[in-house]
Chain A
């Protein structure tokens, strides 16, 4: 397998969507401060707490999801490579045995 194919398998279109969710999470978390709806130096108001918590959830879930998908896909790629190698070895053994019999 070429490295380009492997990268495409490790980072499919869904991973870019999850990256978008990650960026959205950052915006949701910082928006109360960026939009100055949170008074400076005061305790966090309910909307700020809500946005920071939801933003953190979006960031964590999207990052974990990207990493999780990558891990599963990497495991699949390694397993396929191992199976391919085993098949080649088996074919070589059969060819050797056939040659020895003849």
Chain B
């Protein structure tokens, strides 16, 4: 059973806000020499432009990564508190290992009961997908057997 804890999202929101402000500051550092006009147009970069640009890029990148990490922590915290539901995992049925090539194995019929904690639409779609896959495999099997038969006929005629 999932342990329910009280969500404490303040620190994550705080971190996300700080990361966002620093991200904007880094972006502005990159653009400022051109926006404020202290970098002459078409000339080599002056030392201040070079400094601002090469400081701005890591600041913006690290701030973006930091924002994403704080966001991921926020989501994890909400999941741990039970506010957000964890994604339902599909319970995969272990297929019986029948002899023959893997492509030719017909999938076992999928019962809707296999999919726990899913909506009706998901279950219907899963059943439909399983039926389509089974149909495709049957066609492939039929085609493969007819190919084998025609090969056999051709070789018999050659023998005659």
Contact = CB atoms under 8 A, between A and B. Distances in A.
B37 A46 contact: yes
Interface in A48-63: 50-51, 54, 57-58, 61-62
Interface in A19-60: 20-21, 24, 27-28, 31-32, 35, 37, 45-47, 50-51, 54, 57-58
B90 interface: no
Contacts of A27: 55
A17 interface: yes
Given A46-B37, A68-B14, A35 B51 contact: yes
Interface of A: 14, 17-18, 20-21, 24, 27-28, 31-32, 35, 37, 45-47, 50-51, 54, 57-58, 61-62, 64-65, 68-69, 72-73, 75-76, 79
Interface residues of B, number: 30
A51 B52 CA distance: 8
Interface string B31-49: 0110011100000001110
Given A51-B52, A58-B25, A64 B47 contact: no
B22 A21 contact: yes
A64 B14 CA distance: 9
A54 B32 contact: yes
A20 to B, nearest CB: 7
Nearest to B39: A47
Contacts of A68: 11, 14, 18
A51 B38 CA distance: 12
Interface of B: 6, 8, 10-11, 14-15, 18, 21-22, 25, 28-29, 32-33, 36-38, 46-48, 51-52, 55, 58-59, 62-63, 66, 69-70
Contacts of B25: 54, 57-58, 61
A87 to B, nearest CB: 14
